[in-house]
């Protein structure tokens, strides 16, 4: 749809949220959305993949327009594109179903960086939920390492993204649709899908390559983390590093020798961190067990994901495509 600006001259803002069997956390998410003050959403849209737990009914009761699709049609990029196509806002906020906005002025903070005409997208900090595994808590709080301030990434005049090292390319392009906002005119240039995983960084990369900017709004945050098994975290890491190899040529663990070294160093570092917390003995044991498994599957996920991202040919390619389909199952 075409954008519909407000009568007061401020940009209109739509919320687009993919959902599927959102569970009890959805109530907190909806309460935070309806508690916004000052700058509020002009439109609420959910694209639901056939929920059976009352998610659609709760969304409609909160004022959402709900578009229902078969679960088999879900795609991280294309599903969000579908919701945006239904919306009319000048700015579209993308939110996952288990991310709780922090503060009544959250939306005002997210919209503010768009006063810079070069800014195509804005994303914010995440704060882990209580009970999050300790090493994940530290990782989430530390990403992307820019603090609680507004920062912007944009290439210098005449600079190309490909001039940078792969990790620096990623840091310039970093974007996260857990809680983000995009300018409609920029989304029209850089659609998100179809993209099974990593549609947000895919958007960020093309924005940066075009000489535009991505802003990180460190003054705004959402409560968000997953209670996954260490194995599930490893599967997600495989998918992420397959994507990062394809987008930036990023390879964190290139060889079996490097893998062996990474397994040792990761375990030593993270186990030492958990021990430094001086947890009660009944908590430390399970935390250390989870941490050791996490380190193992994270390293293997990085190693195998990067190999899959190289799109090998022949039998190796067939095996990695089979592995990828297996590991994608159950990963949101």
| pLDDT recorded at residue 161 | 98
Total number of residues shown for the chain: 332
Q: Would the pLDDT of 1 be above 70?
A: no
Distance CA 100, CA 153 (A): 26
Tell me the C-alpha distance between 173 and 62, whole Å: 34
pLDDT at 69 over 90: yes
Say how far apart CA 85 and CA 191 lie, in whole Å.
Answer: 10
Tens of pLDDT, residue by residue over 121-139, are 999 999 999 999 999 999 9
3-state secondary structure of 304: helix
Residue the block writes with tokens 């093309």: 206
pTM over 0.85: yes
HSE, side-chain direction, 13 A CA sphere, residue 83: 33
Q: What pLDDT, in 10s, does the model give residues 146-201?
A: 889 999 999 999 999 999 999 999 999 999 999 999 999 999 999 999 999 999 99
Cα separation, 322 vs 310, whole angstroms: 15
Domains and CATH numbers, the chain: 13-223 (3.90.550.10), 230-328 (no CATH)
Residue 184 phi, psi dihedral angles, 5° rounding: -55, -45
Q: Is the separation of the CB atoms in 18 and 46 below 8 Å? A: yes
Per-residue pLDDT, averaged over 282-310, amounts to: 97
Q: Which of 8-12, 151-155, 296-300 has the lowest mean pLDDT?
A: 8-12
**CA pair distance 163, 199, nearest whole angstrom:** 23
The more confident residue out of 145 and 199 is 199
pLDDT at site 6: 57
Three-state DSSP class for 280?
coil
What is the pLDDT, as a whole number, of residue 2? 58
Cis omega (within 30 of 0) for bond into 144: yes
Q: Give residue 4's pLDDT band: very low, low, confident or very high (50, 70, 90).
A: low
9 contact partners, CB below 8 Å, separation of at least 6: none
The pLDDT score that the predictor gives to residue 14 is 98
For the cut 90, the answer to whether the pLDDT of residue 20 exceeds it is yes
Residue 179, phi then psi, degrees to nearest 5: -155, 105
The alpha carbon dihedral of 115, 120, 125, 131 has a sign of positive
């Amino acid at each position: 749809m075409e954008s519909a600006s407000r009568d007061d001259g401020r940009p209109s803002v739509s919320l687009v949220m993919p959902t599927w069997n959102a569970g009890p956390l959805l109530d907190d998410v909806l309460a935070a959305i309806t508690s916004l003050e000052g700058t509020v959403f002009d439109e609420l849209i959910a694209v639901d993949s056939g929920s059976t737990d009352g998610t659609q009914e709760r969304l409609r009761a909160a004022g959402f327009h709900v578009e229902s699709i078969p679960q088999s049609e879900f795609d991280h990029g294309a599903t969000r594109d579908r919701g945006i196509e239904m919306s009319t806002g000048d700015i579209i906020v993308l939110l996952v179903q288990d991310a709780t906005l922090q503060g009544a002025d959250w939306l005002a903070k997210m919209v503010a960086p768009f006063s810079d005409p070069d800014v195509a997208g804005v994303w914010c900090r995440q704060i882990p939920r209580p009970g999050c595994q300790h090493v994940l808590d530290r990782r989430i709080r530390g990403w992307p390492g820019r603090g609680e301030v507004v920062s912007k990434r944009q290439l210098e005049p005449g600079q190309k993204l490909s001039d940078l090292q792969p990790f620096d390319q990623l840091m310039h392009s970093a974007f996260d649709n857990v809680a983000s906002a995009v300018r409609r005119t920029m989304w029209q240039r850089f659609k998100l899908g179809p993209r099974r995983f990593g549609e947000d960084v895919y958007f960020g990369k093309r924005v940066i390559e075009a000489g535009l900017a991505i802003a990180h709004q460190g003054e705004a945050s959402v409560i968000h983390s997953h209670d996954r098994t260490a194995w599930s975290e490893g599967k997600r890491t495989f998918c992420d590093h397959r994507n990062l190899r394809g987008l930036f040529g990023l390879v964190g663990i290139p060889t079996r020798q490097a893998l062996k070294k990474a397994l040792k160093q990761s375990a030593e570092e993270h186990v030492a961190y958990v021990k430094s917390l001086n947890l009660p003995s009944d908590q430390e044991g399970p935390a250390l067990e989870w941490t050791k498994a996490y380190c193992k599957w994270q390293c293997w996920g990085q190693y195998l994901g990067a190999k899959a991202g190289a799109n090998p040919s022949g039998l190796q390619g067939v095996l990695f495509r089979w592995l990828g389909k297996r590991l994608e199952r159950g990963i949101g």
